[in-house]
Chains A and B, each alone.
Chain A
């Protein structure tokens, strides 16, 4: 299983873009990159996933490097409600969650 590395914490100003990095240098060819977030102690919420191409939905954009060894989740206009722990997961089956990145959006 590919391991992921994320910074433990990040700050972002409200209204600015939040760029959350994730390294997954051991990713295999058929493994997807998933992003989830957990607000306070609620259940994690799915954000976005991708294999090779960049992806965008109503919540965020996912940029995956050409070699697939890293990715960046982009929240284009962060709000205070985006303060949460963000998890990057690389796995085809059976999701294991690491420590994630604690994003704090500040006024």
Chain B
């Protein structure tokens, strides 16, 4: 079983509020990811990190920001939530393959249960 945790599981908030979605993993993984997924739709990568102090934007433009101060923690923040941010947010982590191009077999991603966000 994967040891990756997301809180809260469900969140209903009003427009304009600042929120932080928490994601923690206890596996010592260097790489962490945030995905956004609307019901019945594809997963879209919005942020990822290769390690402490490393953050990158993903394929889908997002108004959220992330930080990676500790290996185990990768929170996502929305400074001012809007109804368009209503979605499910999934966090994942994987072991780093480093510079070994043949180490791609260690890139198994482990996902949290997700946070369902509703902005009214």
The verdict on A66 contacting chain B, using a C-beta distance below 8 Å, is: no
A contacts with B: majority SS: loop
**Nearest CB in chain B to that of A30: its residue:** B101
CB-based contact A30/B109 at 8 Å: no
Interface size range on A against B: 20 to 34
Give the distance in Å from the alpha carbon of A42 to the alpha carbon of B43 in the complex: 12
Contacts of A49 in B (CB 8 A): 105, 108
Contact B42 A30 (CB under 8 A): no
Across the interface, do B113 and A46 meet the contact criterion of CB distance under 8 Å? Answer: no
- Contact across chains for A41 and B39 when beta carbons are under 8 A apart: yes
Number of cross-chain contacts by CB at 8 Å: 66
The answer to whether B111 touches A44 (Cβ under 8 A) is yes
Q: Which of A41, A93, A97, A99 contacts B107 (CB 8 A)?
A: A93
Contact B104–A95 (Cβ < 8 Å)? no
**A window 57-91: CB within 8 A of B:** 91
In the assembled complex, A25 has its CB within 8 A of some CB on chain B:
no
Once bound together, how far apart are the Cα atoms of A95 and B59, in whole Å? 11
Residue among B35, B101, B104, B114 facing the most chain A CB atoms (10 A cut-off): B104
For residue B11, CB closer than 8 A to chain A, the reply is: no
* Chain B contacts with A in 79-120, Cβ cutoff 8 A: 88, 90, 92, 94, 97, 101-102, 104-105, 107-114, 116
Where the two chains meet, the residues of A that have a C-beta atom closer than 8 Å to any C-beta of B are 30-32, 34, 36, 38, 41-46, 49, 51, 91-100
**Top 9 nearest A-B pairs by Cβ distance?**
A43-B111, A92-B104, A97-B43, A32-B104, A30-B101, A46-B108, A43-B90, A44-B111, A99-B42
Q: List 23 A-B contacts (CB under 8 A).
A: A30-B101, A30-B102, A31-B104, A34-B107, A36-B109, A41-B39, A42-B114, A43-B90, A43-B111, A43-B112, A44-B92, A44-B111, A49-B108, A51-B105, A91-B107, A92-B104, A94-B45, A95-B33, A97-B42, A97-B45, A98-B42, A99-B42, A100-B42
